[in-house]
Structure 1
Amino acid sequence: MQEIRYEVNNRIAYITLNRPEKRNAFNKQLVSELKEAFSRAEHEEEVKVIVLKAEGKVFCAGADLGYLQSLQTHTFEENLVDSHYLKDLYLQIYRHPKIVIAAVQGHAIAGGCGLITVCDFVFSVSEAKFGYTEVKIGFVPAIVMTFLIRKIGEARAKEMLLSGDLIEASQAQEYGIVTEVLFDNELYEKVDEFALHLCQTNSAQAMKATKQMIADIQERSLSEALVYAAEVNAKARAFEDCKKGIAAFLSKEKLSW
C-alpha cells in the first residue's frame, strides 16, 4: 500500500491516510487501498475495533480535483462505475461488522467529511472544520448525502449541503457528526483509550449484531422493525458471548472480553 498505512496493536487496527502532500484527497488508488484495508480488518480475527486517522494537517479534503477533472472526459457509464466504487467504500465502512472510530486531527471537507460521517464514533481536535463544499464548485454531494440525512436529519443536512459552508468542531458535535472535541495533545490518547475500552468491556459478537440492526431497522416500518427486533433478540440468546456473559454475571465472575 502506498496511499495508506495499516497496522494492528492491542486488537485495534489502525488505518492511516498517508497522502498529506495532497491533503489526503481521494483518488482511485486511495479508495482502492482503503477498501482493501477495511476488508483485511474485517477478516482478521485479532481485530476488534478499527481506528481511522490521517497524516498531515488535513484529515481529508475530499476528491482530488485533478482526478475529478480527468473524469469529465469519460462517458456517463464510465463515471457511473467510478461513482459506485466510491459508494461501495462508504457503505463498506457504514456496514462494517467492527466498530470504526475516526481520529480527526484536521479539516474534514466534502468527501472527507462524508468519510467520517459513516464512522461509528468521531473524535476531533477543536481546530478542525467540517463541511460539504461541493455546491461551491458546481458539484453535488450525492453519495455522502444519503448517510448524512440518516445521521443528523433533513433540516441540519440541508443547512450543511445547500450552504456548503464549513462549521467548527464544536458545532459539528452539536449536530451529531462529532462525538467528542479534544485538545490536540489529547486526541490519540483518548481514541486509544476509548477503543481499548470497547475491546475490553464489550462483546464483539453483540456489537456486530447491534451495529447491523441500527443500519437495517431504519429501512423498515414499525411493525416490520419489531418483528425483526424479536428475531434478533431470539438469535442473540444463542450467542456464545451471551451464554458466557450471563454465566459470568450469575456466578459473579469478572468478565474479560
Structure 2
Amino acid sequence: MKFVKYQVANRIANITLNRPEKRNALNYQVVSELKNAFGKADVDKNVKVIILSAEGQAFCAGADLAYIQQLQNNTYDENLEDSSHLKELFHQIYTLSKVVIAEINGHAIAGGCGLATVCDFAFSVPEAKFGYTEVKIGFVPAIVKVFLLRKIGEGKAKELLLTGDLIDAESAKNFGLINRIIRANDLSKQVNEFANHLIYTNSQQSMGLTKKMIAEVQAMDLEKGLQYASEMNAQARESEDCKKGIAAFINKEKIIW
C-alpha cells in the first residue's frame, strides 16, 4: 500500500495514514487502502484492538480538494460510486467486530473529522482542531452526519455541521467527539496502554457483540430493541467466553483473555 501503513504486534493492528505532504487528505486510493487494512485487521485472529494514527502534523485534512475538483466532471452515477466508496469505509469502521481507537496527532477536518467520529474511542493532542467545514466551500457533510447524529445528538450536531466552524480539542471533548486529551509526547504511549487494557481485561467476543448491538439497536423501536437485547443476552450466555469468565469469577481465578 502506498498511502497506508499496516503493522501487527502484541495483538494490536496499527493502521497509519501515510500521506503527510497532503495532510493525509482522502482520495479514492487512500480510502481503498484504508478499507483493505481494516478488512485485514478484522479477520486477523492475532488482532484484538486497532489503532488508527497518522504521519506528519495533521491527522487528516478531509477530502483532497484537487481530487474533488476532478470529480466535478463526473456523471451523477460516477460521483455516487465514489461517494459510496467513502460511505463503505465509515460503515466498515463503525461496524467492525474489533475496537478501533483513533490516535489524533493533529487537525482532523471534514472527512478527517468523520474518520475520528466513526472510531470507538478518540484520543487527541491539545493542539488539534476539529470541524466539519463542508458548508464553507459549498459542499455538504452528508455521510458523516449519519454517524455524528448517533454520537452526539441533533443539537450539538447542528451546531458543528451548520456553522462549519473549527473547535479546539477541549471543545471537541465537551461535545463528545473525543474521549481524552493527551500531550503529544505521551499520546502513543497512553493509546497503547489503553489498547492493552482492553486486550487483557475484556473478552474479544463480548466487545464485538456489544459494539454490534450498539450499532443495530438504535434503529429499532423500544419493543423491538428490547426483544433484540433479550435474544443477544440469551445468545451470549451460551458463548465459550461467558462460560469461561463466570467460571473464573466463581472460582476466584484470574481470567486470561
TM-score of the aligned structures, taking structure 2 as reference length? 0.99
- Structure 1 residue 38 displacement after superposition: 0.2
> Deviation per CA, 1:2-24, whole angstroms, max 9, x where unpaired?
10100011100000000000000
Q: Are 2:255 and 1:216 aligned?
A: no
Match of 2:139 in 1: 139
Match of 2:87 in 1: 87
Match of 1:190 in 2: 190
Q: Are 2:225 and 1:225 aligned?
A: yes
Cα distance in 1, alignment partners of residues 76 and 254 from structure 2: 58
Cα distance in 1, alignment partners of residues 156 and 247 from structure 2: 45
Q: Please give the secondary structure, in 1, of the residue aligned with 2:30.
A: helix
Percent of aligned pairs with the same amino acid = 62
Equivalence map 1:61-100=2 (5 Å):
61-100=61-100
Cα distance in 1, alignment partners of residues 5 and 59 from structure 2: 14
Match of 1:20 in 2: 20
AA matched with 1:238: E
Match of 1:253 in 2: 253
AA matched with 1:51: I
- Structure 1 residue 256 displacement after superposition: 1.2
Q: Please give the secondary structure, in 1, of the residue aligned with 2:72.
A: helix
AA matched with 1:181: I
- Structure 1 residue 251 displacement after superposition: 0.8
- Structure 1 residue 147 displacement after superposition: 0.5
> Deviation per CA, 1:30-63, whole angstroms, max 9, x where unpaired?
0000000000001100000000000000000000
AA matched with 2:162: L
> Deviation per CA, 1:190-241, whole angstroms, max 9, x where unpaired?
0000000000000000000000000111000011000000000000001100
Q: Please give the secondary structure, in 2, of the residue aligned with 1:73.
A: coil
Q: Are 2:101 and 1:101 aligned?
A: yes
Match of 1:5 in 2: 5
Match of 1:115 in 2: 115
Q: Structure 1: give runs of 5+ residues left out of the alignment.
A: none
TM-score of the aligned structures, taking structure 1 as reference length? 0.99
After superposition, the CA RMSD in angstroms is 0.4
Cα distance in 2, alignment partners of residues 182 and 253 from structure 1: 34
Cα distance in 2, alignment partners of residues 209 and 43 from structure 1: 15
Cα distance in 2, alignment partners of residues 58 and 197 from structure 1: 27
Match of 2:199 in 1: 199
Cα distance in 1, alignment partners of residues 249 and 75 from structure 2: 60
Equivalence map 1:38-53=2 (5 Å):
38-53=38-53
Cα distance in 1, alignment partners of residues 73 and 119 from structure 2: 33
AA matched with 1:241: D
- Structure 1 residue 186 displacement after superposition: 1.2
Q: Structure 2: give runs of 5+ residues left out of the alignment.
A: none
